[in-house]
Structure 1
């Protein structure tokens, strides 16, 4: 039987060999990837990231997702802060079987959804058997 309880997952900071120009932590956004006959669907949680601060690049076989957040608070001294601003960064190697010209991305309420359609040659095909 599947466990359907909610699970809390802490943000994981990315350790990078690259030098950052911003003095904020860089997190790997939690991602779920689903496969159907038609496409791969990637869901990434990136709270606080707006579309203007999001970039998705596909260079050769590497899909890179970057996002940045900022905290806009009221004037005054901070008494409690449970949310830490930071950047998001994640890379994936993409199969040649993905139709790169038809990739779609959407963002709603801090959740990024990427749909990576499979090319026609990658989709399962049924072979008809003829009587001889």
Structure 2
């Protein structure tokens, strides 16, 4: 399951032919993928992205994660020194047919987005009972 997922492989995503959220760099966030018999879990780091600025879409078998970082300094402040490269995030995965599209969930806490992708019943391992002849 996890090895069937593909993604971009550059730290900065090239959006030629894609859709940019705004001008500026778009980064490929660090992502871990875990798998069990009944689900795949995708954990993606998107520091500085508020939950309302995360966009997760699934079109056909393509799962797209986008996040927009707020670039405004806190009220009453102006930029003085900056080392954090502000930009948006995007990650794209191609899912296998084994995912139950209708039961995917997403939650975000402390800049980490967690997606749970349950496997379809037909993809789960099935124990077959053996009877005596």
Structure 2 length-normalised TM: 0.84
2:14 aligns to what?
15
Note the C-alpha offset of 1:104. 0.5
C-alpha deviations, 1:78-125, integer Å up to 9, x for none? 332121211111110111111111100000000000000001110001
Structure 2: 5+ residue stretches without partners: 1-9
Helix, strand or coil: the match of 1:34?
strand
2:21 and 2:88 in contact (8 A); partners too: no
Distance in 2 separating the partners of 1:70 and 1:120: 40
Over the aligned positions, Cα root-mean-square deviation in angstroms equals: 1.8
Residue aligning to 1:64: 64
Larger CA Rg, structure 1 vs 2: 1
| SS class of match (1:13) | coil
What's the secondary structure of 2:47's corresponding residue?
coil
Aligned-partner Cα distance in 1 for 2:55–2:73:
25
- By how many angstroms is 1:77 displaced? 5.3
CA deviation string 1:39-87 (max 9, x = no partner): 0000000011111111100000000111100233255653321212111
Corresponding residue for residue 114 of structure 1: 115
Ranges in structure 1 where 5+ consecutive residues have no aligned partner:
1-10
How big is each residue's C-alpha offset from its partner over 1:3-22, in whole Å with a ceiling of 9 and x where there is no partner? Answer: xxxxxxxx921122136362
CA distance in structure 2 between the aligned counterparts of 1:21 and 1:126, rounded to whole angstroms:
47
